[in-house]
């Protein structure tokens, strides 16, 4: 049994990741694949509990290091329980956020730096690397406008509480955006950067192009084994 393909989607809040992951999953199913779709934080029973703790705006005063540790606790559980078994079984895994989010939000946004994140990833996650990361990054101004809009909307709705990050200020999102760009520049072979203010269909097309290339690559690798 050949190992599956691990694909992650990344981007700022409101970048359309969830819509795109669902469209990609449908596209893959139409081509005979059975992708496993998961998200972080969350995706396991333990992870869902961590998710409510870390995203609930009532979790006030959470220290940045504690926040990062919770993200990694969630990830280590998801890898053991869901991601590794699926990859071993040859499945394609689509994961909404992974360690790049920790590097961007805690490393960049919370200013903990990249090296502690990468070191914890090595220690706690066996340095598992996605085969492909799709990074959705509209221009900084559009991203900030979306983040502000979401802040306002969630404040107005005052509903289900997953709003802790959305209360952050512009400077926080600016650092997250910057760190994402840094990651893309550092790892061009893994990260496909989808930039600019594109329509949902245009982003989907770019994603399909990148995924098709990887799938063709895995088939070529199998034939030469």
Q: Which chain residues interact with ligand TMP by CB under 6 A?
A: 13, 39-41, 55, 71, 97, 101-102, 105-106, 165
Q: How far is the CB of 41 from ligand TMP (least distance, A)?
A: 5
Q: How far is the CB of 132 from ligand TMP (least distance, A)?
A: 17
Report the residue closest to ligand TMP, judged by CB: 105
Q: How far is the CB of 139 from ligand TMP (least distance, A)?
A: 19
Beta carbon nearer to ligand TMP, 106 or 143: 106
Q: How far is the CB of 114 from ligand TMP (least distance, A)?
A: 13
Q: CA-CA distance, 177 to 166, in Å (whole number)?
A: 14
47: CB partners within 8 A, 6+ apart? 40, 41, 74, 77, 78
Beta carbon nearer to ligand TMP, 71 or 86: 71
Beta carbon nearer to ligand TMP, 34 or 67: 67
Beta carbon nearer to ligand TMP, 105 or 204: 105
**CA-derived radius of gyration, the chain:** 17
Rounded to the nearest angstrom, the gap between the alpha carbon of residue 144 and the centroid of all alpha carbons in its chain is 18
Q: How far is the CB of 18 from ligand TMP (least distance, A)?
A: 7
Q: Which residues pair with 137 in a beta bridge?
A: 195
Give the residue from 5, 17, 14, 28 showing the smallest Cα distance to 135: 17
Beta carbon nearer to ligand TMP, 142 or 215: 142
53: CB partners within 8 A, 6+ apart? 59, 70
Residue 192 gets the label, from left (phi > 0), alpha (psi -120 to 50) or beta, of: beta
Measured from the Cβ of residue 82, the count of other Cβ atoms closer than 10 Å reads: 17
């Amino acid at each position: 049994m050949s190992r599956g393909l691990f694909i992650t989607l990344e981007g700022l809040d409101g970048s359309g990741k969830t819509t795109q992951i669902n469209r990609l999953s449908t596209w893959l199913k139409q081509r005979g694949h059975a992708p496993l779709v998961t998200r972080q934080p969350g995706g396991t029973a333990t992870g869902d509990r961590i998710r409510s703790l870390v995203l609930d705006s009532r979790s006030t005063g959470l220290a940045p290091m504690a926040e990062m540790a919770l993200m990694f606790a969630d990830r280590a559980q998801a890898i053991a329980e869901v991601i590794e078994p699926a990859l071993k079984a040859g499945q394609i895994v689509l994961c909404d956020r992974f360690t790049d989010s920790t590097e961007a939000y805690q490393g960049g946004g919370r200013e903990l730096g990249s090296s502690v994140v990468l070191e914890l990833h090595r220690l706690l996650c066996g340095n598992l690397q996605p085969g492909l990361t799709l990074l959705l990054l509209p221009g900084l101004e559009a991203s900030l406008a979306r983040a502000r809009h979401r802040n306002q909307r969630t404040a107005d709705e005052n509903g289900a509480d997953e709003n802790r990050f959305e209360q952050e200020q512009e400077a926080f999102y600016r650092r997250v955006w910057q760190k994402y760009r840094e990651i893309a520049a550092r790892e061009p072979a893994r990260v496909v950067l989808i930039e600019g203010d594109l329509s949902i269909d245009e982003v989907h097309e770019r994603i399909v192009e990148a995924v098709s290339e990887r799938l063709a690559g895995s088939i070529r690798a199998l034939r030469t084994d």
